[in-house]
Structure 1
Amino acid sequence: MSSSRSSRRSAGWKGPAQLILRLVLMGVGLGLLTGSGLRLLAPRVQQQEITLPSWLADQALITTLLGNAVEPPSTENAAGKQNAPVVAKGLKQARFAPRQEIRALSERWLELAAQQSDLQASAYMLILDDGRFAAMQAERPMAAASSIKTPILLAVLELLDQGTLQWNEPLTLTEELVGGGAGWMASRPLGSRFPTHEVATEMIRVSDNSATNLMIARAGGMDAINARFQELDLPSTVVNNWLPDLDGTNTTSARDLSRAIALVDSGELLAPRSRDLFREVMGTSITNTLLPRGLMRGLGGAQGEPDASLARKGYRVYNKTGDIGIAYADAGLIELPDGRRAVAGFLVEGPFNDPRSTELIRRLAAAMAPHLKPILVPAKP
């Protein structure tokens, strides 16, 4: 009995000792294999052919084995990754691409125009972000009056992008280019010189006709600028005479005016800085009694200064009007409170200085308002 108990105790101690010995031998073997492998990999790590994870590279043993082959990630690189530009996921620039007609608005425009049967009217609106549009005789050529100055501004800024025009280049007033009517440059002596930025701004701000003629001449003359309008798919937009063109021979359409503005806002034409200049110049326009006032009326704004009233509601209109007595026009870019944008253009021809012409434009603009309401967004908790 005693010999039996003694043999079992010997066997019990022998098992753990063998297990410990085996674990030690396995640990030494794995260590040798790991060290040899890391030393073999060191040149490739040094040459950055292999990148170790940061949790491994930071270990003291790894640094000892690989020496300078392992460099912890610098704080500069880490900060660079954290400060990398974020890709915008919001509203994007949208092209002039009409897709779905807002029939209710087109029909409403027809009803309004029918109430003044002796007036000729043209209207167009496009919401750039979704392609919904409305149109009424939108492609019919009509007397442009000063509304043609918007596509002229576009053509001039293209020269700026091409490097063939400088924004401060002086332009000389000649007898041929003096235009009566709106503006102050015609009162200056012949030979007076004005920087291009002033000429372009005054063409839009106070609708200076002499400034417009200077712009047409600098763009290569009537034939050259008309050819460019055709290339831009503005088929109804034609300069036939120097401004003021009181007979209404210069033509455009509601669709062309809207497209010219959309080509800039969409980024299809003009470099970013020139697009900024386009918006800055358009923003100087003084007359806001047609499209802006009509939109304000449609939105239920109080009577008063249209720009301020629209701004309180989150709207902004960059517009340019036209007025030669027998024809009135207005077209502009409309910024909505939710960030979307729309373009719109209106032209009306009728008896000389007939107040119904301007009132019809305001009514057509007011009819757009229900379709330009912002998309409601729920408040975040």
Structure 2
Amino acid sequence: MKLNWFLFSLASIVMLSAPAKAAKLPQQPIDSSKAAVSDIKYNNYKKLIAENSSDLSLPGIKFTPSQPETIFSNPSDGSSFAGVLHLGREISPLHTRIQNLMNRYSYLEPGMFFLDLETGDYLDINGGKAFSAASTIKFPILVALFQEVDAGRIDLQETLVMRRDLVTDGSGEMQDKPVGSKFSVLETATKMMTISDNTATNMIIDRLGGKAKLNQSFQTWGLKNTVIRNLLVDGNGTNTTSAKDLVQLAALIANNKLISDRSHSQVFEIMRHCHNDSMLPAGLGKGAVIAHKTGTLRFVLADAGIIQTPSGKRYLAGIMVKRPNHDSRATDFIRQVSQIMYSHFDHPQITTLP
């Protein structure tokens, strides 16, 4: 069936045709004009969800028919990726280019996995290496939430009450609300993903039954390195995942293998509004669209998601970088990797970085 994850109106398309501007990271001063634009996008999104716009028919790629309840006994067999897409060839020329870039940033320890959704061609450099997940752990949590929505056990409009034991610091704004404040599940999940709200994340984990239940789901999905060990804020980086796990999850969602077609449209629509666009989005060309989730700790940066070029090419991206304490050059590295990969997927010939 068609991949119906791009869920936006003609007005949204016009807005997304403009070049991406890097969103500010947590605890940095906020430009009021940019904040106003973000508020407009967020309000438009809430209206979009309220109007059930995920029912819209949008362009996509033909994949295996929707089977939300399917469980894969061997999602990583030798002939396929995540049990849904046959792997093609490794993109060797890009492997060489990325390795040369890594040599220039020798103080960084990256892991990355990129996958062409049409051909199955891929780039894998330490893709299966486990890293501190930081806020990328919120991506599988969101998917688990929508599994429960599909099963009828959770309603997106039901009310969650913010308890004192779930309030934490770090990114987000819900921590500034009084204990006992009430939010819908949809609003809480949206804050978890768009502004990476840590308190919202703890509330969703709690609603889903806790860490152990989520970890069991992750194992069932075939995610080998994705584990929640502590609630947020996980400053010591005990929660883990890998670039390959994050891409595998995106591949499963894109093929309607974990959640329904309607839910995967909502998941990607929420992720399309991630405020931090300083990493993967910063390497994309004009007119590209990305639905993604970032992660930031003082010693780790990460970004993962699904990208569509203006020509309609779709590919999955996952990159994680261990860095010296707060070293901003890791952001530049991710941006340049993104630029190299985008250039490959968007053009027949690979161009040289400026």
Q: Which of 213, 216, 227 pairs up with 2:202?
A: 213
C-alpha distance in structure 2 between counterparts of 1:293 and 1:99, whole Å: 27
Structure with higher helix content: 1
Alignment-derived partner of residue 331 in structure 2: 358
Q: Which of 229, 235, 241 pairs up with 1:252?
A: 241
C-alpha distance in structure 2 between counterparts of 1:217 and 1:100, whole Å: 41
1:154 and 2:154 correspond? no
TM-superposed CA distance for 1:187, in Å, is 1.3
Off by >6 Å, runs of 4+ in structure 1: none
Alignment-derived partner of residue 308 in structure 2: 335
1:324 and 2:297 correspond? yes
Q: Which of 62, 80, 101 pairs up with 1:92?
A: 62
Structure 1 331/295 Cα, relative in aligned 2: closer, same or farther at 3 Å? same
Q: Which of 85, 100, 104 pairs up with 1:111?
A: 100
Query: CA contact under 8 A between 1:96 and 1:259: conserved in structure 2?
Result: no
Structure 2 residues without counterparts, runs of 5 or longer? 1-57, 65-83, 350-354
Structure 1 residues without counterparts, runs of 5 or longer? 1-87, 297-309, 377-381
Query: CA contact under 8 A between 1:338 and 1:375: conserved in structure 2?
Result: no
Query: CA contact under 8 A between 2:284 and 2:339: conserved in structure 1?
Result: yes
Query: CA contact under 8 A between 2:269 and 2:291: conserved in structure 1?
Result: no
TM-superposed CA distance for 1:118, in Å, is 2.3
Cα offsets for 1:144-202 (capped at 9, x unmatched): 11111111111111000111100111112112211211111111122222100000100
C-alpha distance in structure 2 between counterparts of 1:238 and 1:165, whole Å: 23
Query: Alignment RMSD, CA only?
Result: 2.0
Query: CA contact under 8 A between 1:338 and 1:374: conserved in structure 2?
Result: no
TM-superposed CA distance for 1:115, in Å, is 2.0
Letter in 2 for 1:325: R
C-alpha distance in structure 1 between counterparts of 2:186 and 2:177, whole Å: 17
1:191 and 2:180 correspond? yes
TM-superposed CA distance for 1:114, in Å, is 2.3
Cα offsets for 1:220-259 (capped at 9, x unmatched): 1111101111111111111111112111111111111111
Alignment-derived partner of residue 348 in structure 1: 321
TM-superposed CA distance for 1:122, in Å, is 0.6
Corresponding pairs, count: 273
**How many percent of aligned residue pairs carry the same amino acid?**
36
TM-superposed CA distance for 1:375, in Å, is 7.0
C-alpha distance in structure 2 between counterparts of 1:172 and 1:375, whole Å: 52
Structure 1 214/110 Cα, relative in aligned 2: closer, same or farther at 3 Å? same
Letter in 1 for 2:296: D
TM-superposed CA distance for 1:97, in Å, is 3.6
TM-superposed CA distance for 1:337, in Å, is 2.6
1:128 and 2:101 correspond? no
C-alpha distance in structure 2 between counterparts of 1:105 and 1:234, whole Å: 26
Alignment-derived partner of residue 266 in structure 1: 255
* TM-score of the pair, normalised by structure 2: 0.73
1:370 and 2:340 correspond? no
